[in-house]
Amino acid sequence: MIKLKTALASVALAGSIAAVSAPAMARDTINIVGSSTVYPFATVVAERFGRNTDFPTPKLESTGSGGGFKLFCAGIGAEHPDITNASRRMKSSEFEACQKNGVKEITEVKIGSDGIVIAMSKDAPKMDLTLKEIFLALAKDVPDPKGGEKVVPNPYKKWSDIDASLPNTPINVMGPPPTSGTRDAFVEIAMEGGCKQFGWIKALEKTDGAKYKTICHSMREDGPFVEAGENDNLIVQRLGQDKEVLGIFGYSFLMENEGTIKAATIEGVYPTPETIADEEYPVARSLYFYIKNAHVGVIPGIKEYAEEFTSEAAWGDNGYLVDVGLIPNPRNLRMDVAKKVRNLTPLTGNEL
């Protein structure tokens, strides 16, 4: 009897270990979270995947890149997402959070490129902005217009206050919240790019990195910039209602709504697939999704979904994702990434 109890206890312990080491099979639908920019592309793939295979259509939720990583890295198991989309690369701190919570093996999939546009109504005056003007319009603190190496609360109320050649209209810009990868990329590329135009601020990058980042990355909070949430379609709708409002979002939303909105040129370059792909357009970035490898083979269809996304029929030069605004990777990069998906090659912290 004692031996039987010991044996049963051993079986129970083994079962407990197995339950901890692998996610329980509690659902049969892929759960995807993350970037609102990648969401339209993932939706197209998911719908085709559900229609053309025996797997259920994956469930998608637009949480923003930062929110997606937080959910994705929270743990292993059916209650946690299988894939997260991102409009920026995973940060090393996010990778470390994943590792801490048992999400050890992650496959990174770079799906293509996108531009961040500053858009307006078709009926609005044409705008040609520089990175410096964008920074001066949207930063919380800006160099004192009176001179000297100090910043003051942003005094600019109209575009023409910054430069007389710009429209004599209020600065009224809607953009993404801090949880958005679009916000991260816009701040790092556009805001910091304009901030660096001031030599004394650029010098701070080496002498006082914290102060440099605070000046360059802090968006104004006094009204001219409004956080509009993760739903970029709401910004598009507002642009159609008010020609003095500008909106910040990914190029794909511009392409989808080109009948009603247009983009500003930045540094004299208009966003097109060609100018974004060759990085002539100044505010371009890469798009990704990340696979939780421990869920592959447990939640059905994850690898198959990723292989569909990285097929030439989907993301190739003439793929169906190009039709909805994805700017494809060069062919050699596509082949390398597709191989990583087939092999579920894990990302390492040293790559970030």
Is the domain spanning 2-114+287-351 CATH 3.40.50.300? The answer is: no
What pLDDT sits at residue 311?
Answer: 98
What pLDDT sits at residue 19?
Answer: 40
The residue whose two tokens read 């099979």 is: 25
User: Above 60 in pLDDT, residue 39?
Assistant: yes
Task: Quickly state the pLDDT bin for 325 (edges 50, 70, 90).
Answer: confident
Percentage of residues in the chain having pLDDT higher than 70:
93
User: Above 90 in pLDDT, residue 272?
Assistant: yes
What average pLDDT does range 140-161 have in this prediction?
97
Q: What is the pLDDT of residues 152-178, one digit of tens each?
A: 999 999 999 999 999 999 999 999 999
User: Above 60 in pLDDT, residue 36?
Assistant: yes
User: Above 60 in pLDDT, residue 301?
Assistant: yes
Q: Whole-angstrom distance between the N-terminal and C-terminal Cα of the chain?
A: 56
Percentage of residues in the chain having pLDDT higher than 90:
80
Residue 11 in tokens: 């079986």
Q: Would you say 98 and 106 are in contact if contact means Cβ atoms under 8 Å apart? A: yes
Would you kindly state where each structural domain of the chain is located, as residue ranges? 2-114+287-351, 115-285
What pLDDT sits at residue 6?
Answer: 39
What pLDDT sits at residue 79?
Answer: 96
Q: Would you say 190 and 248 are in contact if contact means Cβ atoms under 8 Å apart? A: no
* Mean of per-residue pLDDT scores for the chain: 91
Task: Quickly state the pLDDT bin for 25 (edges 50, 70, 90).
Answer: low
Q: Would you say 76 and 23 are in contact if contact means Cβ atoms under 8 Å apart? A: yes
Q: Is the backbone of residue 43 left (phi > 0), alpha (psi -120 to 50) or beta?
A: alpha
User: Above 70 in pLDDT, residue 132?
Assistant: yes
Task: Quickly state the pLDDT bin for 40 (edges 50, 70, 90).
Answer: very high
The answer to whether the Cα torsion of 145, 140, 214, 282 is positive or negative is negative
What pLDDT sits at residue 2?
Answer: 39
What pLDDT sits at residue 62?
Answer: 94
What pLDDT sits at residue 238?
Answer: 92
Task: Quickly state the pLDDT bin for 179 (edges 50, 70, 90).
Answer: confident
Residue 161: closest CA among 187, 181, 137? 137
What average pLDDT does range 228-249 have in this prediction?
89
Residue 64: closest CA among 229, 259, 265, 270? 229
Task: Quickly state the pLDDT bin for 331 (edges 50, 70, 90).
Answer: very high
Chain-centre distance of CA 297, in angstroms?
Answer: 27
Q: Place domain 115-285 in its CATH homologous superfamily.
A: Periplasmic binding protein-like II (3.40.190.10)
Task: Quickly state the pLDDT bin for 225 (edges 50, 70, 90).
Answer: very high
Residue 146 in tokens: 């009176």
The H or E element containing residue 69 is: helix 65-72
339 C-beta neighbours (distance < 10 Å), count: 11
What pLDDT sits at residue 196?
Answer: 96
Close Cβ partners of 140 (under 8 Å, ≥ 6 residues apart): 153, 154, 218, 219, 220, 221
Q: Do the first three CATH levels of 2-114+287-351 and 115-285 match, i.e. the same topology?
A: yes
Residue 235: closest CA among 214, 215, 263? 263
